[in-house]
Amino acid sequence: MVEIRRFCEVDRPALRALFGRAGEGAPTASLWGHEESEAAIYLTPYMDLEPESLFVAVVDGELVGYLTGSLGTAVPPENARMERAIREHRLLLRRRSAAFFARSLRDVAGATVRRQPAAGELHDPRWPAHLHINLLPQARGTGAAAGLMDAWSARLRETGTPGCYLQTLVENRRATRFFERVGFVAHGPAPAVPGLRYEGGRVHQLTMVRPAA
């Protein structure tokens, strides 16, 4: 049986440990190969600044998945979080992460020259909220993801938030099918993500939106 509940402060170490494993197999499983700084961008701010929008899935007392949400203002923009992590974790002095960011710069320059749309967060008052969701492989296909999404939808309704967006990859078919099933639809262009490669190829950011109702 999967229990879905809100994050509590005592979950912090287990959730941080889960962060390193829950994305396994997805094209975004590792970005620049430095888990601590990736957690500083995609997990810690949500635990610190908006714990009431963070939900966990639990089986036999163990965390098996989570959904980090933000209604829109408490968690700083992704770029700001990334710049801070680059600085604080000295990512440009680490070989693997420096290579990732150098490739990112080349990708951005190439896209600019070709006048292609840039990847980035959505800023649209119709969908001010956003989420990230990740489950351990053994929790996939169990209904845990739908349970987390129900808890998040209730939070959006309670707070009168008009809508929510998320960003995934076109290449993450399992995720996109799940999001479509729970009512998200694709929105806008699908630009190549700077720096990121999956199975040797470029991957494309897919923004999806859903009204709260």
Ligand X SMILES: CC(C)(COP(=O)(O)OP(=O)(O)OC[C@H]1O[C@@H](n2cnc3c(N)ncnc32)[C@H](O)[C@@H]1OP(=O)(O)O)[C@@H](O)C(=O)NCCC(=O)NCCS
Interface with ligand X in residues 80-109 (CB under 6 A): none
Write out the two tokens for 43. 């997990």
| Least gap, CB of 181 to ligand X (angstroms) | 4
DSSP annotation string for 104-150: HHHHHHHHHHTTPPPP-----TTS-EEEEEEE-GGGTTTTHHHHHHH
CB nearer to ligand X: pick between 28 and 161:
28
Residues, the chain, total? 213
Q: In Å, what is the CA distance from 174 to each residue of 99, 162, 166?
A: 29, 26, 15
In degrees and rounded to multiples of 5, residue 145 shows phi and psi of -65, -45
Segment contacting ligand X (CB under 6 A): 35-43, 52-60, 135-143, 188-196? Answer: 135-143
Cα distances from 20 to residues 31, 82, 132, in angstroms, run: 11, 18, 14
63 or 145, CB closer to ligand X?
145
Angle between helices 35-42 and 12-22 (to 10 degrees): 110
199 binds ligand X (CB under 6 A): no
> Considering the complex, what minimum distance in angstroms separates the CB of residue 162 from ligand X?
21
Sequence-ordered list of residues with C-beta below 8 angstroms from that of 13, at least 6 positions apart, any chain: none
Q: Could you tell me the smallest distance in angstroms from the CB atom of residue 113 to ligand X? A: 29
Stretch that binds ligand X, among 3-11, 111-119, 137-145, 151-159 (CB under 6 A): 137-145
Q: Is 115 or 177 the residue whose CB approaches ligand X more closely? A: 177
Neighbouring-strand partners of residue 67: 55, 133
DSSP, collapsed to helix, strand or coil, labels residue 173 as helix
Nearer to ligand X, 141 or 189 (CB): 141
Which residue of 4, 23, 69, 82 would you call a contact of ligand X, by CB under 6 A? 23
Q: How far is the CB of 211 from ligand X (least distance, A)?
A: 19
- Comparing CB distances to ligand X, the nearer of 87 and 181 is 181
For residues 165-194, which are near ligand X according to CB under 6 A? 168, 172-175, 177-178, 181
Q: How far is the CB of 176 from ligand X (least distance, A)?
A: 8
Where on the chain is the footprint of ligand X (CB under 6 A)? 23, 26, 28, 133-135, 140-141, 145, 168, 172-175, 177-178, 181
